[in-house]
């Protein structure tokens, strides 16, 4: 997020907080630009270190081969550009392509901040700022789309880019249309027309904006059935039913106008719905008017003279350990049934409420507050508990059930289930040097003093068969070595484990919420009541990927499982049969397993309360230098990860993937 997309209020609040912290008195407004600069620097800086410079126009080849024919790029024009009569139609059709294929990474706003924008690096191109493709000839965009990351010149490290080569996935016509769309939409953002300041909100303006901005996802008639709907999870809201997930009113009640306005402004964190704070206030109110007109409920509400009963948030009481303890008990009694005892959405009843086909998605993993739709502040959590989330299984806890203090108790406990901030992305994983034996199991306390590295994962959206919404969106890695053996610790949250793992590994499931003592029964579960343990159709799996050989020039295999010239070595752990396969690959689909007698990696896995933990260890050097990665100290060794959530049907190319990271042995 850059400073420009942070709402003014947030920036002001941060600045006020900062000054308060520094003991500085009241803030005058003219200090605001300085605040912007500081916040902007802090927010932008970590990203800019990973930024990617677009190749210059001079880096573009003279000609490329596309579907068997040579296309000369010099002087190549967009053939649809001159067709003025159909220009609007072609732009619109290009939008439909964009909102099926491109928006995951490049974002609804074409600013590179799509849902997967932060999962891969180099980050996706931002079309709305300096160095945008829209300032270059359209033939340049044609080249970049057709050839993608793999077609980049060497100095731009084509092996790192997650931009697919679209030449075999889109028709030439679709490519030209999507270029029309990108040029038209991005220039609106890059070179905005001055806004008329006191334009009054109107239904007509709302309709116009809806068709232009919202319909690609929410559909022309607002039924949530736009071209991108199939590529969205959760799916876009159907406005004709008037249910809005995030409100200040009770579960199932219609939202206030301000609720709708706030949702348009802020978006839905962790979904394909971005915030629209760059639209003028008047435009956003026009959208509110229009969205309300799509369902019957708002009018009926007004006709009956009803009044909203928004829920108010009292001032939070101070945090106490007593409140935390009470909160834990309340959480186990009332929340763990779905969220699980550690908050990793693995509750005993969770399987009952999740049905991905009908858009009933997993309850939030409370260890990942950066995916909370409303936000993770105490007040926001209070609001979610008091109002529930309409259209989901998250109920509301009204004052009929819990008093304010009890809600704060739960809030206090929930906040302890996660790190205070989203872990910062570090591209280099330090492999700590230790004395003596390396820890070979996940529960070994030696891991506690080893630094954790957060690895974001995105769906494999590059080539068929694709996976848009993987079950696992990040892993955590630690690594140590003792000059002889390297040991890699990995954990990832998966609310549904492969049941057969219980036969070969230690498994602990979230128990159902405790019953009052007098209602408990001591007898063991009846044998017949237990289902026979069967393996999942597809195992849960994780693969660690290394280049087979380390190239001193810095060239690497393609991040997506290598290429024909540069194979990768993969250590693939599977839940069934529980163990590691040593594999090699020269591409997404070109995988081979090494003969069993060559397998040298030891693995130890367990599953506890919604989380897989795994340790893989191997000697730094092996005899098979042709196929196995060889570790050396003080050298940057590329490392990447693939994860499959078998219970969601993930297998083969349908998997979560990471960009290349680097590992350095101390």
Partner 1 sequence: MANKPLKPKKLTISAMIFRPLISTLIFLLVPGIAFSGSIKGKITYSAQVKIPKSVDTGKYKKACGAEVPNEKLLVNEKGLMNAVVLIEGKKLGGKPGEYKLDQKNCRYVPHVMAMMKDSKLNIHSSDPINHNLHSYSFDNDPVNVMFLPNQDDFELEFEEPEIIKVECDLHGWMTAWIVVTDNSFFDISGQNGNFKIPDLPPGKYTINAWHEVLGSKSQTVTVGKGETVINFDFSDVAPQVSKK
Please give, one letter per residue, the 3-state secondary structure of 338-372.
HHCCCCCCCCCCHHHHCEHHHCECCCCCCCCHHHC
Q: Residue 520, interface with partner 1 (CB under 8 A)?
A: yes
Residues from 43 through 82 that contact partner 1 (CB under 8 A):
none
Q: Residue 554, interface with partner 1 (CB under 8 A)?
A: no
Among 78, 334, 536, 658, binds partner 1 (CB under 8 A): 334
Pick from 468, 474, 461, 458: nearest CA to 365:
474
In terms of CB distance, is 161 or 238 closer to partner 1?
Answer: 238
Phi, psi of 598 (to 5 degrees): -85, -5
Among 20, 89, 230, 352, binds partner 1 (CB under 8 A): 352
In terms of CB distance, is 522 or 626 closer to partner 1?
Answer: 522
Strand partners, 644: 541
> Residue 86, Cβ neighbours under 10 Å: how many?
11
In terms of CB distance, is 300 or 633 closer to partner 1?
Answer: 300
Q: Residue 364, interface with partner 1 (CB under 8 A)?
A: no
Q: Residue 527, interface with partner 1 (CB under 8 A)?
A: no
Yes or no: say if 619 and 485 are a contact pair by the CB < 8 Å rule: yes
Q: Which two tokens mark 652?
A: 């083969």
Q: Residue 531, interface with partner 1 (CB under 8 A)?
A: no
Q: How far apart are CA 391 and CA 400, in angstroms?
A: 21
Q: Residue 353, interface with partner 1 (CB under 8 A)?
A: yes
Among 184, 233, 393, 482, binds partner 1 (CB under 8 A): 393
Dihedral of CA atoms 247, 345, 470, 534 in degrees, nearest 10, equals -140
In terms of CB distance, is 204 or 355 closer to partner 1?
Answer: 355
Residue with structure tokens 């795994």? 614
Among 245, 263, 368, 396, binds partner 1 (CB under 8 A): 396
Q: In the bound complex, what is the minimum distance in angstroms from residue 359's beta carbon to partner 1?
A: 11
- Residues in contact with partner 1, shown as a per-residue x/- string from 274 to 313 under the rule CB under 8 A: --------------------------x-------------
Strand partners, 430: 664
Strand, coil or helix: what is 583? Answer: strand
Pick from 427, 484, 432: nearest CA to 666:
432
Among 63, 77, 258, 333, binds partner 1 (CB under 8 A): 333
Q: Residue 525, interface with partner 1 (CB under 8 A)?
A: yes
Q: How far apart are CA 217 and CA 345, in angstroms?
A: 27
Among 176, 397, 641, 644, binds partner 1 (CB under 8 A): 397
Residues from 211 through 270 that contact partner 1 (CB under 8 A):
241, 243, 251-254
Strand partners, 490: 477, 614
Residues from 100 through 119 that contact partner 1 (CB under 8 A):
none
Q: In the bound complex, what is the minimum distance in angstroms from residue 43's beta carbon to partner 1?
A: 37
Yes or no: say if 409 and 434 are a contact pair by the CB < 8 Å rule: no
In terms of CB distance, is 201 or 513 closer to partner 1?
Answer: 513
Size of the site for partner 1 (CB under 8 A): 38
Among 512, 554, 577, 652, binds partner 1 (CB under 8 A): 512
Yes or no: say if 133 and 46 are a contact pair by the CB < 8 Å rule: no
Q: Which two tokens mark 655?
A: 């998997």
Yes or no: say if 466 and 488 are a contact pair by the CB < 8 Å rule: no
Q: Residue 123, interface with partner 1 (CB under 8 A)?
A: no
Yes or no: say if 434 and 483 are a contact pair by the CB < 8 Å rule: no
In terms of CB distance, is 130 or 358 closer to partner 1?
Answer: 358
Chain residues binding partner 1 by CB under 8 A are 241, 243, 251-254, 300, 333-334, 337-338, 349, 352-353, 355, 358, 388, 390-391, 393-398, 400-401, 512-513, 515-516, 518-521, 525-526, 529
């Amino acid at each position: 997020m850059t400073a420009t997309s942070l709402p003014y209020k947030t920036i002001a609040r941060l600045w006020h907080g900062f000054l308060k912290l520094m003991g500085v008195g009241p803030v005058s407004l003219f200090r605001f630009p300085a605040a912007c600069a500081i916040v902007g620097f802090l927010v932008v800086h970590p990203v800019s270190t990973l930024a990617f410079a677009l190749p210059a126009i001079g880096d573009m080849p003279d000609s490329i081969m596309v579907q068997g024919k040579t296309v000369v790029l010099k002087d190549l024009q967009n053939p649809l550009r001159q067709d003025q009569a159909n220009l609007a139609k072609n732009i619109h059709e290009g939008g439909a392509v964009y909102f099926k294929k491109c928006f995951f990474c490049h974002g609804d706003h074409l600013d590179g901040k799509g849902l997967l924008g932060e999962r891969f690096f180099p980050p996706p191109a931002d079309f709305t700022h300096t160095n945008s493709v829209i300032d270059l000839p359209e033939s340049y965009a044609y080249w970049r789309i057709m050839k993608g990351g793999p077609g980049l010149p060497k100095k731009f490290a084509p092996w790192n880019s997650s931009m697919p080569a679209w030449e075999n996935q889109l028709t030439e016509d679709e490519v030209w249309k999507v270029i029309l769309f990108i040029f038209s939409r991005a220039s609106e953002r890059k070179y905005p027309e001055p806004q008329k300041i006191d334009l009054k909100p109107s239904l007509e303006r709302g309709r116009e904006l809806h068709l232009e901005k919202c319909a690609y996802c929410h559909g022309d008639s607002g039924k949530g059935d736009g071209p991108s709907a199939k590529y969205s999870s959760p799916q876009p809201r159907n406005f004709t039913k008037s249910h809005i997930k995030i409100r200040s009113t009770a579960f199932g009640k219609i939202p206030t106008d301000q609720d709708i306005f706030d949702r348009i402004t802020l978006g839905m964190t962790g979904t394909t719905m971005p915030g629209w704070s760059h639209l003028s206030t008047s435009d956003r109110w026009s959208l509110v008017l229009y969205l309300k007109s799509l369902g019957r409920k708002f009018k009926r509400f007004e006709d009956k003279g009803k009044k909203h009963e928004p829920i108010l948030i009292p001032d939070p009481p101070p945090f106490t350990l007593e409140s935390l303890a009470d909160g834990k008990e309340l959480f186990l009694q009332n929340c763990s049934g779905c969220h699980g005892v550690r908050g990793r959405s693995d509750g005993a009843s969770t399987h009952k409420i999740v049905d991905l086909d009908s858009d009933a998605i997993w309850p939030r993993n409370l260890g990942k507050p950066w995916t909370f739709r409303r936000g993770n502040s105490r007040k926001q959590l209070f609001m979610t508990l008091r109002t529930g989330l309409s259209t989901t299984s998250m109920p509301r806890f009204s004052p009929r059930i819990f008093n304010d203090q009890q809600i704060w108790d739960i809030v206090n406990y929930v906040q302890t289930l996660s790190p205070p901030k989203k872990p910062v992305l570090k591209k280099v994983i330090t492999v700590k040097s230790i004395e003596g034996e390396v820890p070979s199991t996940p529960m070994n306390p030696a891991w506690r003093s080893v630094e954790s590295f957060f690895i974001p994962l995105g769906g494999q959206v590059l080539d068929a068969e694709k996976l848009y919404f993987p079950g696992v969106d990040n892993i955590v890695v630690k690594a140590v070595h003792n000059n002889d053996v390297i040991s890699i610790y990995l954990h990832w949250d998966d609310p549904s484990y492969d049941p057969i793992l219980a036969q070969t590994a230690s498994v602990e499931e979230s128990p159902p919420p405790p019953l009052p003592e007098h209602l408990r029964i001591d007898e063991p579960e009846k044998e017949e009541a237990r289902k026979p343990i069967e393996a999942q159709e597809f195992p849960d799996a994780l693969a660690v990927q290394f280049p087979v050989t380390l190239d001193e020039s810095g060239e690497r295999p393609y991040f997506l499982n290598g290429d024909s010239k540069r194979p990768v070595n993969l250590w693939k752990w599977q839940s069934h049969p529980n163990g590691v396969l040593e594999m090699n690959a020269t591409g997404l689909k070109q995988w081979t397993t090494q003969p069993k007698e060559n397998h040298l990696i030891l693995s130890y896995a367990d599953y506890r309360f919604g989380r897989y933990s795994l340790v893989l260890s191997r000697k730094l050097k092996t005899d098979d230098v042709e196929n196995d990665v060889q570790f050396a100290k003080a050298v940057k060794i590329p490392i990447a990860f693939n994860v499959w959530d078998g219970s969601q049907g993930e297998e083969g190319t349908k998997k979560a993937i990471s960009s290349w990271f680097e590992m350095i042995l101390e």
